[in-house]
A = this chain, B = another copy of it.
Amino acid sequence: MDKKWQVGLIRVVTLSDRDMAELHGRLIMEMFPALEVETRCIPDQPEGIHDPESKAMAVPKIIEVAKAFKDKDVIIVSCADDPGVKELRRILTIPVVGAGSSVCALAMRCGPRTGVLGITDYAPPPYVDMFGDRLVNLGRPQGVNNTLDLLTDQGQEAVRKLGMQLKEAGAQSIALACTGMSTIGITKPLEEYLGIPVIDPVTAEGLFAYYECIQRNSK
C-alpha cells in the first residue's frame, strides 16, 4: 500500500539506539499502513520525562524538534504527559497529537470512569483534565519506578495487581499512562486478565494521527 501521509513522531527521551527510538513508529506503521513515520528524539535528556521538572526541561526541546520537521501532515508527541502539545497546537498549522489525550479519548468511550495506570504517582495532566474527579488513581504499581522495572516478572505482576484494584475501585477501563507499556506489549494480556478494555498509548496516538490525516485530506 502507498504511504499516503507523513507523520513526524517525537520521542521525549534521548535514545542512541535507532531501533529502540523507532519502535513506536514501527508499531504505528504496522497498524496504519497508510502512515509513514519519521522519528526524532529530543537532545540531551537520556532519562526522559519522569516528573514535572524533567517535563519543564523537555518542552522547549519538543517545540524545537517539532518545528524542524519538514513536510509532515501531523506531529505526534509520543508521551502520556502530552508535553508541549498545547503549546505546539498554538504554534503549528498542522495537527498535533499527544499520547495522553488520545488514550483518554478512547477510554471515555468505555464509560465516564477510567483507571490511570502508569509509572508515576501523579496522573499525567490530560488524564486529570479529561476525567476530573471521575479518574480512578491509586498511584503506581508497587516497586515500579521506570520502564525497565516493567520488564521484570515482579513488575508485570505489580501492573496486573494494580489493574485489578482499579477495576474493583470502579474503573470501567484502564487508561495506560506510559508509552513504555506499549513497547513491552502488556496491553492485550492485561485486557484479557482484567476483562475490561485497556487502552494502549501508541495505538491511541496512531489512531488519532490517522484521523487527523483523513480530516486533512478531505478538507
Contacts and interface: CB of A to CB of B under 8 A. Distances in A.
A109 interface: yes
A109 B112 CA distance: 14
B105 A188 contact: no
A29 interface: no
Interface stretch (A11-19, A45-53, A59-67, A203-211): A203-211
A211 to B, nearest CB: 5
Nearest to A218: B188
Contact of A31 (B112, B132, B214): B214
A106 interface: yes
Nearest to A188: B219
A102 interface: yes
A68 interface: no
Contacts of A210: 207
Interface string A123-166: 00000011010000000000000000000000000000000000
Contacts of A211: 106, 203, 207
Contacts of A112: 129-130, 132
A77 interface: no
